[in-house]
Amino acid sequence: MVVSLSMNFKVKSLLFLFFFLIVKAQCYCQDSSINDSLVHQMLSRIFYIQEHHEKDFPAGLIPSYRQYHHKKDVFKNDDNIFFTGLVVFTLRHLYTSLDKFSQSLCDTIFSHAAPLYARHRNRNGRFTFNFWQTDKPEIFPDGGLLNIFNKRQALPDDMDVTSIILLADDAADSTISQVHLLMQDYTGSQSKKARSTLPAYKNSRAYSTWFGKKMPIDFDFCVMTNILYLVNKNQLSYTSADSASLDFIVKVIENRDHINHASFVSPSYNRTPIILYHISRLMAQTKMPNLEKYRAQLVKDAISIYNRTNNFFDKILLSTSLMRWGIMPPNDSLIIVTTLEDFVEKNNFVFFIANMASVLSRPYNVLIGNTGIGKFNYYSPAYDYTLLIENIMVRKTMKQRNNK
């Protein structure tokens, strides 16, 4: 199969590719064969990247790259499981809407990624997962002086990665229920409050990001949406922590902190377009009255930012979010005078940020955070392709629904 796909791996023929196929309503899906071909090419490229990355990444991993805030010309390989999980989770969600050839590509990507999950699973055997490998704990691979603290200061498993991997791996109901029960022990409480968040949320009993008794309570809006997505998808009964997390999300939207203080309510994702992308995914998965009453305002927010931003991938995220809310995105176009590979794989789009200062108590997290010390941007070309595929398929599904 690898040999038969080799002709699709290189997409140099897409010189002067008109990407309004993705972002312009009138032009999009006029020729479904063009869209199918584009999806085939991007899935082939994801698989190629997965199998032909640098040697210090393990086989089957979706590679990502880390850039330190104060060394923006230096990129280091970072063999985390986060982006592998995101790619598989997203493609698995899209799977039934893809054609047979695309599904076969996805099956190959899934099967090559699956053996890696155990590498990041908790060393004591529970089904929680770590951003980095757990057999040889490591903080920021190839991180120089940071690696001195690998064993003593290795980060605990986190709820975001755990939720994403359980979704990517299509875990058994019993496993998810077991993990959900465990999550209840890692929330804000009367004795352990969130010192790093905005004052309005410090007393919340919502989920913390970390499965670590010694870690400070750390709230992240996007992490909570991923946890609740897992809970809702598996139709688990809501606990007090689930309700508190939903209340946190609602209060952030109500207070407009997803617009005005994005980096404090979501320190790991950091920006409003990505927050809107996460909340739209949760709302598309399950209709929740507490959130539905803010739908019109969220749509307005997404359109406003869409019209102001010049970042193509922010537009893709916002476009996908709007379609999840049932709104066709504003008309726009972008002509890429380059190859698809160069455009996607050499861009400055940051989906995830690691900020070591984010767990510090206020105001120290503000003071140190503003210096950029301990702040790392993450890039994953294969995940960028996945976001484009998702946008194509969401638009295709929306058009089919509207034409019925």
Residues of the chain with pLDDT under 50: 1-30, 143, 145, 148-153
Alpha-carbon distance of 264 to 318, in angstroms, equals 20
Q: Residue 369 in 3-state DSSP?
A: helix
Return the pLDDT at 302: 97
Are 376 and 71 in contact by the 8 Å Cβ rule? The answer is no
Return the pLDDT at 30: 41
Return the pLDDT at 369: 64
Return the pLDDT at 15: 34
Whether omega for the bond prior to residue 363 falls within 30 degrees of 0, making it cis, is: yes
Return the pLDDT at 329: 87
Identify the H or E element spanning 375.
strand 375-379
DSSP for 176-236, please give it: HHHHHHHHTTSB--SSS--SSS-GGGTT--PBPSB--TTSPP---HHHHHHHHHHHHHTTP
> Which of 191, 193, 217, 218 is closest to 203 using CA atoms?
193
**Which residues, other chains included, contact 32 with Cβ-Cβ below 8 Å and sequence gap of 6+?**
396
How do residues 261-310 score in pLDDT, each as one tens digit?
999 999 999 999 999 999 999 999 999 999 999 999 999 999 999 999 98
Return the pLDDT at 6: 38
The domains of the chain are located at: 2-403
Give the distance from CA 105 to its chain's centroid.
21
Alpha-carbon distance of 14 to 6, in angstroms, equals 16
Return the pLDDT at 357: 58
Domain 2-403 - what CATH class? mainly alpha
Alpha-carbon distance of 80 to 65, in angstroms, equals 10
